[in-house]
Amino acid sequence: AQSVAQPEDQVNVAEGNPLTVKCTYSVSGNPYLFWYVQYPNRGLQFLLKYITGDNLVKGSYGFEAEFNKSQTSFHLKKPSALVSDSALYFCAAASNTGKLIFGQGTTLQVKP
């Protein structure tokens, strides 16, 4: 069965410091991987995706993610966190029919 895991329920980081939100996946075939962000009582906003090509993917709002096939990971990163980055982050993998399989989410708390 395909699955996505986000091992940390919450990540705390000081403003200006680098941040990493972890994600590992288990999918068959070539993975299509996504990161979404969710603000309170809102839908999900697309940040970035990996389909093929460069292992480092750049996305919206200064976020990037590193695809590592050997470790089956797709960690979300940002060099310098902002207080406004505080939100709930979801990693997802697309099945071979296109439906998304989500991790359980990681709350990012950026403190001033």
Least CB distance from residue 12 to another protein, whole Å? 18
Q: Is 10 exposed, middle or buried (0-12, 13-18, 19+ CB in 10 A)?
A: exposed
Q: Are 13 and 108 in contact (CB under 8 A)?
A: yes
Least CB distance from residue 14 to another protein, whole Å? 25
Q: CB-wise, 15 or 94, nearer to another protein?
A: 94
What residue has token string 């997802």?
92
Which residues make up the interface to another protein (CB under 8 A)? 4, 32, 34, 36, 41-46, 49, 51, 90, 92, 94, 97-105
Neighbours of 84 (CB within 10 A): 10
Least CB distance from residue 83 to another protein, whole Å? 23
Q: CB-wise, 15 or 88, nearer to another protein?
A: 88
Q: CB-wise, 99 or 111, nearer to another protein?
A: 99
Report how far residue 54's alpha carbon sits from residue 86's, in angstroms, rounded to the nearest whole number: 27
Least CB distance from residue 84 to another protein, whole Å? 19
What residue has token string 């998304």?
100
